[in-house]
Amino acid sequence: MIFRYLNKPYPFIFNAFSVLVPSMVTFILIVLLKPLGFSSLDFLERAITALVISIIISACIYLVVNGLKLWFPDYMSEDHWTLGKEILLWLMVLFIITCAISVVFIGLVLYQQGEQYALSLNLILSVFLRTASFTLGLSIIPMLVLILFEQHNHHKKQYQNARQFTQLLQKQLHSVEEKQVKKEQKIIFTSETEDVELQLKPDDVIIVQSDGNYVEIHYLNGSTLQKKLIRHRLKAIESQLPEDLFFRCHNRYIVNTKRITNVKGNARGLYIEFENSNAVIPVSRSKVKAFKAIFEKN
């Protein structure tokens, strides 16, 4: 149950706010609210300490996320981001921040005590544990503020995108209704062995979905939605489809853009709905701009 919850899709949000918001909230928190013993410092010392910690937090967040995206691009893919990965990322960031602040604190201790002060394992462990508890206690509020801010901002952005898509879609549907429908040559769907499995008019094909070594064709037979499983790769099927009518909106899905009736958006992304079908298909974040361009040029 827990693993299923952790594997739920989660929006990957990383921008300038992801770096600035935690550091700014931390700075304000230390200077004004004076938590975790900061009240013992005068205002100037507290402000300088808050600035140093804020810079460390910003640098750690920026370097960790961009480093992981550079070294592990598949793991950091936005289209496969989950709640579990988001939690692991934050734990890693907090650990790196703890290590960085510990190094600064140990350096301050050695500076204050002089060169004769012995650097021992006990000192390092003691400083690290105190820094870890300090970091966790101090990071709760900035993390919550960041999550709430990003989710609100992302949800608002997705809502606006969905609204724009709906307006463009309505315009396109209105334009299509005014044009005379022309007969088109049928698409011949073949298997890997080149056996003919299905022959359909392009307008009758609703969705083409990848299912391992197979593809599932969702199509209309009259007014009835039917499905056909064909042993083939999605990429091979994609080459048989008219580019002006079909769009690969996701690694697993190709959709008929003329059959789209609605586009919805939430914090996780954009989703497409179709006429005569209950299917709700996601749009990969990397495909959003190209998807929007389809409606803007019509």
Per-residue pLDDT, 26: 85
Q: To which H or E segment does residue 170 belong? A: helix 121-178
Per-residue pLDDT, 228: 92
Residue 157 to residue 288: CA distance in whole angstroms: 12
Residue 57 to residue 135: CA distance in whole angstroms: 10
Highest-pLDDT range among 27-36, 86-95, 101-110: 86-95
Burial of 28 (0-12, 13-18, 19+ CB in 10 A): middle
Answer whether 79's CB lies under 8 Å from 251's CB.
Answer: yes
What's the pLDDT tens digit per position in 157-205?
777 777 877 777 777 666 655 544 444 578 888 888 888 889 998 889 9
Residue 184: partners with Cβ closer than 8 Å, 6 or more residues away: 201, 202, 203, 242
Nearest to 247 by CA among 200, 205, 216: 205
Burial of 182 (0-12, 13-18, 19+ CB in 10 A): exposed
Per-residue pLDDT, 250: 92
pLDDT reading at 13 higher than 90:
no
Mean pLDDT score, 208-236: 90
Tell me the domains of the chain and their CATH numbers.
2-158 (no CATH), 180-296 (2.40.50.1020)
Per-residue pLDDT, 110: 65
pLDDT confidence band for 9 (50 / 70 / 90): confident
- Residue count of the chain, please give it: 298
Dihedral angle over CA of 251, 8, 256, 261, nearest 10: -160
Query: What's the gap between Cα 152 and its chain centre?
Result: 14
Q: To which H or E segment does residue 90 belong? A: helix 83-113
What's the pLDDT tens digit per position in 224-273?
889 999 999 998 899 888 888 899 999 999 999 988 988 888 767 889 99
Burial of 145 (0-12, 13-18, 19+ CB in 10 A): middle
Mean pLDDT score, 39-56: 87
